[in-house]
Structure 1
Amino acid sequence: MPQWDPGHYLRYSDERSRPFFDLTARIGAEQPRTVVDLGCGPGQLTATLVERWPSAQVTGFDSSEPMIDAARRYEGPRLRFVHQDVHDFAPDEPVDVIISNAMLQWVDDHREVLPRLVEALAPGGWLAFQVPGNQTSPSHVLLHELGQDPRFAQWTGAINRRIMPPAAEYLTQLSQLGLETDAWETTYLHVLPGDDPVYDWVAGTGARPYLQALPDAEREIFVREYKERVRAAYPRQDFGTVLGFRRIFAVGRRP
């Protein structure tokens, strides 16, 4: 797993939060007792779940200590945060709502994790997750191509591209696991300000494994060349730079 920087991640918090609210808007739970957010990150979105469900006990889990440390400022009587990997998630009792926003793509066997999450649901419980589907967009293709360059490949050549399946495959899997499932895809057109906004965005998420793998001298060269390629692929316009970002959603209810 990458080492996360909560401050960098939150630079585009408004844009990153839109899929979370689009996802949770499709959850039909009215008065859940227990709500879990797997991969809660810095916690600001998890905190909104306390307002959404006033009678629920909400718990956010994340495998990153810096993210959990940042999230704990939101803790209260009905909200707590736990440093734990999704593979170790084993609730003491069935859960009414399980949410995972942009976390499962970092789990190598994430399709194998889904049956365990379904089993953790209470009758009538909801599972909702969202994963980025932009691994074949220019931002990530250019990142992968540069990572395969002989100058960098000894450090970055084996990094998993983590290409996610289409929504239809999640629909089939969750339906076969017994959930009444809704799945869809959305491409957001984020208008970003600044000189290198697409690099700044990717550096906070998808590029972190590459940047962390490289020694300092090689990282400087890598970043310079990646910025040049990204600027050409996403030209700045008078109103900003447009980043098209496809995301894949699935929401299922256990009968």
Structure 2
Amino acid sequence: MHSVDSAAPTWDPQQYLRHSSHRTRPFLDLLARIPQLPNQSRPARVADLGCGPGNVTALLADRWPDAHITGFDLSPEMLERAEKDWAGTTGGGGWLDFRPADAAHWTPEEPYDLIVSNAALQWVPNHPESFAIWIDGLRPGGTFAFQVPGNFTSPSHALLGELCESPEWRHRVGDQGRRFVHILEPGEYLQRLSDLGCVTDVWETTYHQMLLGEDPVLEWVKGTALRPVLTALRDDREATEAFLAQYREKLREVYPPGPHGTAFPFRRIFAVATKGV
């Protein structure tokens, strides 16, 4: 989910889903820590901010099969895929739908039992400033839960930023390699959400993932952090290939393949905040 501007990245759902099992695991870990929602005598109302292609939104329907769940995203490509694959009545009689929205400006239009966001808020500058509005939009006892990547100082992302800022590429891609760095440290999230009167659980996990295939780290970042750069260069195929070739070589040095694949550590930050009754 991203703000509308000329530099907003174009998303590729198929590329994003290439590592769907690794990308889904943090959401499952987040989902496991979400407590019982308020007033279980009626179907829950759930919002998924930055739903992407809808594959994790569908997991919410597995947990609350009678709920009305809405996935919000600003990418037309992601919403089209989500609508195609997941929209409609769920197995438990609930309803799953998708709407365009920008998380930077989204305000709950009705009371929600759960507002959740999976690997999206890192794209939203000043997203902690919206916490009060989102929590105000929860019913008493409702929960706001999210996870964001916490690996922006890792070699994969540091190398991308350095390459973008090099003399050769600075004029073409500017700050596109670092435009997604909008996260706080776990303790800061804990303090902000606690200040809003929530019972808050914050933690971090580093997943040590074994990626398979040729240049798998490059393929991983093509689905996420590299999207702004690819969007900026999309009208120049030669420049795109030149940039990818340079970035590929840097990644190969830092993430060499081993006999079982390429090891790729990935830190994630989680928060579950429950509103007082």
Amino acid at match of 2:128: R
- Counterpart of 2:207 (choices 183, 188, 191) is 188
Counterpart CA distance in 2 for 1:91 and 1:118 is: 9
Does 1:240 pair with 2:257?
A: no
Tell me what 1:220 maps to.
241
Does 1:20 pair with 2:27?
A: yes
TM-score, normalising length from structure 2?
A: 0.89
Amino acid at match of 2:136: E
Does 1:253 pair with 2:274?
A: yes
Tell me what 2:87 maps to.
75
1:23-42 to 2 correspondences below 5 Å: 23-30=30-37, 31=40, 33-42=44-53
1:141-152 to 2 correspondences below 5 Å: 141-152=158-169
Tell me what 2:5 maps to.
none
1:168-183 to 2 correspondences below 5 Å: 168-183=187-202
TM-score, normalising length from structure 1?
A: 0.96
Contact 2:9 2:228 in 1 (8 A): yes
Counterpart CA distance in 2 for 1:48 and 1:245 is: 22
> C-alpha root-mean-square deviation of aligned residues, in Å?
1.3
Q: CA deviation at 1:44?
A: 1.4
Does 1:208 pair with 2:219?
A: no
1:135-146 to 2 correspondences below 5 Å: 135-146=152-163
Give 5+ residue unaligned stretches, structure 1.
Answer: none
Counterpart CA distance in 2 for 1:11 and 1:49 is: 21
Amino acid at match of 2:166: D
Deviations for 1:12-60, whole angstroms, at most 9, x for unmatched residues? 0000000111111110024362011111110111112112112311111
- Counterpart of 1:156 (choices 170, 173, 198) is 173
Amino acid at match of 1:185: E
- Counterpart of 2:55 (choices 29, 33, 44) is 44
Contact 1:130 1:249 in 2 (8 A): yes
Counterpart CA distance in 2 for 1:164 and 1:33 is: 29
Runs (4+) of structure 1 moved beyond 3 Å? Answer: none
Deviations for 1:167-226, whole angstroms, at most 9, x for unmatched residues? 111000000011110000100011011110000000110011112212332221110010
Counterpart CA distance in 2 for 1:170 and 1:145 is: 28
- Counterpart of 1:134 (choices 137, 147, 151) is 151
Does 1:4 pair with 2:28?
A: no
Count of residues paired in the alignment: 255
Counterpart CA distance in 1 for 2:190 and 2:107 is: 24
